[in-house]
Amino acid sequence: MRVRLVTAFGWCLLAALIAFSIVRRQWDSDGHDFQAFHSAATRWVHGENPYVATDAYPYKYAPPVLLVFAPFGLMDLSSAQRLYSLVTLLAVLAVPFFSLRILRRDAGLSPIQGLRWLGAGGLGMLASLRFLDNEFHSVNANVLALALMLAGYSALVTTAPRALGALGVTIGSFFKFHPFFALGLFLNPRSWKSVVFWIAAIFLVALLPDPRLWLELTRQLRETRLDFLIDGRSNPMQGFYPLGVLAFGWARDSLAPALLFAPLALAALVLAPKFDLWRPGERPSDRPAAFLLASLSLLTLAATISPLPWHHTYVLFWAAVPVSWICASRGERPYLLILVAILALTPRGIAGRSLADALERSQIVLWVALAQAALLMAQARRLVHRRQKSAGM
């Protein structure tokens, strides 16, 4: 009983810290990203084109995401932003809920007690505080997309309808595109039914709400300048993708980077099944923990090549660090603590503006993300090989 009370109090304290961040950010933020969401949703629900390149903050998300933002387009901007901030808070709290739900489906893991998960959540908060705070400051959609994908993963490893899981995964991926990098994990090359199912799921969701909107999105991308992405003064979270764009000299052509990203995503679909995580005929529900670790590994790796990277792109540490800590061996935990310590210094309120800015501009988050992705994949493979060894395979 005492352990449950301490656990409940700890999670309430974490929730209060996040809520405080929301309230504080509501006072000093113009919610510029949400302005783009709200403007596009308002136009669309009134039968107008949501993709207008002349907007101060052009809407650059895929057409299916409009279904998520549509209810907010029926309200005025101030009310919609407050409600959306509340939805974001619920999404932040949903991330550890779905992560724990998936891990507890794995019979190969030792029981996850409340205090153990609370400690993992505390580390996740330290690692992701800078990025969650920026999410609330700009009122973006990264954590909502992450929660939808984890909800989809959770449905795929339980008895929930497979189509429901596919809907959560695909809608969440369409928010940012780079999450499709991890979709190859779902494909079993030896099962044509698996390949057909996921291709059909992506295609059907892509048709929502109107396939003609893809033409409008393409036209808007041609008219939108993205020079700020490669300006280190305004965007210290450049990652590999914009740096590659800079090398090719494509800063003024915003459609060319999108065309470069497409083959990278397609290559990931081919390479992901080669990680030797599944045996023929297996599904994610057969190895929930390894499936979650591998998915978070590829999502973390995908963040480093995001076409539109920013601080809030890395909110996935809020899921990656706690899951990695729960599955870490005794020898892996010191390395994970080092990664968390580095990320914990990036908030200016903790390390001071000069040190935090210096860490960011050295692309330290990028390298931590690569190390975290490698650790997650190593953990996934270790769990798979341990299970195969115990089964005498």
Domain boundaries, the chain: 2-390
| 126 residue type, one letter | L
At 19 the pLDDT is 58
Going by C-beta distance under 8 Å and a sequence separation of 6 or more, which residues neighbour residue 154?
98, 101, 102, 160, 165
Position 270 pLDDT exceeds 70: no
- With 0-12 CB in 10 A as exposed, 13-18 as middle and 19+ as buried, what is 184? buried
CA dist., res. 231 & res. 251, Å (int): 10
The answer to whether 73 and 35 are in contact (CB under 8 A) is no
At 206 the pLDDT is 87
H or E stretch covering 235: none
Q: Could you tell me how far CA 71 lies from the centroid of its own chain?
A: 22
Find tokens 């792109």 and name the residue.
Answer: 313
State whether residue 48 is helix, strand or coil: coil
3-state helix, strand, coil in the chain (%, to 5): 75, 0, 25
Find tokens 């998915």 and name the residue.
Answer: 295
Tokens of 193: 């039914």
At 234 the pLDDT is 47
Give the other-Cβ count within 10 Å of 206's Cβ: 14
The count of C-alpha atoms lying within 13 angstroms of the C-alpha of 121, restricted to the half-sphere facing its C-beta, is: 27
pLDDT in tens, 202-240: 888 888 888 888 888 877 776 665 554 444 444 555 555
CA dist., res. 245 & res. 222, Å (int): 15
DSSP for 291-329, please give it.
HHHHHHHHHHHHHTT-SS--GGGGGGHHHHHHHHHHH--
At 10 the pLDDT is 59
Confidence of residue 307 (pLDDT cuts 50, 70, 90): low
Distance (Å) of CA 57 to CA 27, 53, 339: 20, 8, 34
Give the other-Cβ count within 10 Å of 348's Cβ: 15
Q: Of the candidates 71, 93, 67, which has an alpha carbon nearest to the alpha carbon of residue 84?
A: 71
At 4 the pLDDT is 58
At 143 the pLDDT is 92
Position 28 pLDDT exceeds 50: yes
Q: Could you tell me how far CA 224 lies from the centroid of its own chain?
A: 24
